[in-house]
Amino acid sequence: MHISLVGINHRTAPVDIREKMAIRAAKLGDSLSSLKRFAPSGVILSTCNRTEIYTANDDSREPAQASLDFLSEYLDISIPQLLRYAYIYKDTEAVEHLFRIASGLDSMIIGEFEVLGQVGNALDAAEIAGMMNLPLRQLFQSAIRAGRRVRKETGISKNALSVSSVAVELAIQVIRDPATCKMVVIGAGEAGRLVAKAARDRGITRIYVAGRTQDRASALVSELGGTSFRIENLEEEMKTADMVVTCADAPHCILRAEQIERTMKERSLPMVIIDIAVPRNAEPAIKQMANVFLHNIDDLTQISEQNRKQREAEILKASEIVAAEVAEFNSWWQSLDTRHVVGALMSKADAIRAAQLDKTLRKLRPLTEEEREDLEAMTKSIVTRILQGPVNYLKSTNGDGKAGASVVSELFELEPKE
């Protein structure tokens, strides 16, 4: 059995490719159902900066092929195009990659909190879809534990930024005076909440929020302050906005070029638009307009690189924790190939022991309960001591547990079952 990972992220693919491969939260259940046609178990981790497919199956094909076939069909992307941007990891390399993600070490913004919740959501979605098996469950639970340890035992997430807070910082660099500016936030989900919170913390008080539903937008502003409005009134609100941050989970563009063109005719001041959604909420053509400063999520790299340099010492500490957690998982993973053989070996030996003891007891005089217990304990002890050698062999096959299990199975004529 192998763990396989196929994915793209902000390091391997630009945003125009990532948005083609993004799997929206609202479509995650459907995506997992489609994945089931290619692999009996799997987890999909899709965030603004990555789309990854994890599988753990004993498949005669190349382990990554099922994930590539799924992505190609589901996203209508050819496999050669996928391979231009994708990375393919297997076993320990895949394990370490996921643990680094959960620990905030693989994010654009080092130490961010949000990704740990996204890893947990991916696990939950796979459970609900019936796509989880024991190795994948252990893998993701171990990754979450590693992420929690890193955040508890290091300062990597102390005063940590997020993509949302970096978006606000980038907008403020252009606007300069947050105290007097008006911000429009498009999207009332978790990203929108973080944008509004970061804006409030930076002294912006005129925050206007539109969401997929009026109720979500109203709930957000009641928590953090500001004003909610209906998405149908977006153009009207943008006429007086200094900055717009858009982070809606939408399958199509929300801000179109002709819409911004009409808005700019009604105003003389410049407008800053920060689009941190994947797929993007703003049409790229908006960037060419006079007096409009459009930035997407890939434009946040300068601030994110500064954040990385500030956390270099904590990155080293976090990496040491990740290495220890990966080693612990690999130890468990190695034992997985042998545990069923050990169980079958012990069961067969105990069945023989019990049958022989029963035959012997029938030939003896009637024994007291204590004498029977003594004989039972003695025969069990003999079996345990005899099997200690084969069990130790299974545990010390230098990482090749499957080969050791095969030898012991053949030697003792076992038929281990999952």
- Catalogue the active-site residues: 48
Q: Which residues contact 387 (CB under 8 A, 6 or more apart)?
A: 345, 346, 349
- Can you tell me the distance from the alpha carbon of 343 to that of 227, in angstroms, rounded to the nearest whole number? 63
Structure tokens at 106: 């693989």
Q: What is the DSSP letter of 143?
A: H
- Can you tell me the distance from the alpha carbon of 20 to that of 296, in angstroms, rounded to the nearest whole number? 15
CB 286 within 8 A of CB 259: no
Q: What is the 3-state secondary structure (H, E, C) of 262-331?
A: HHHHCCCCCEEEEECCCCCCECHHHHHCCCEEEEEHHHHHHHHHHHHHHCHHHHHHHHHHHHHHHHHHHH
Q: What is the DSSP letter of 255?
A: B
Residue type, 195: V
Q: Which residues contact 139 (CB under 8 A, 6 or more apart)?
A: 3, 54, 56, 95, 98, 329
Burial 82-104 (b: 16+ CB within 10 A, else e): beebbbbbebeebbbbbbbbbbb
Structure tokens at 178: 């947050």
Burial 180-212 (b: 16+ CB within 10 A, else e): ebbbbbbbbebbbbbbbbbbbeeebebbbbbbb
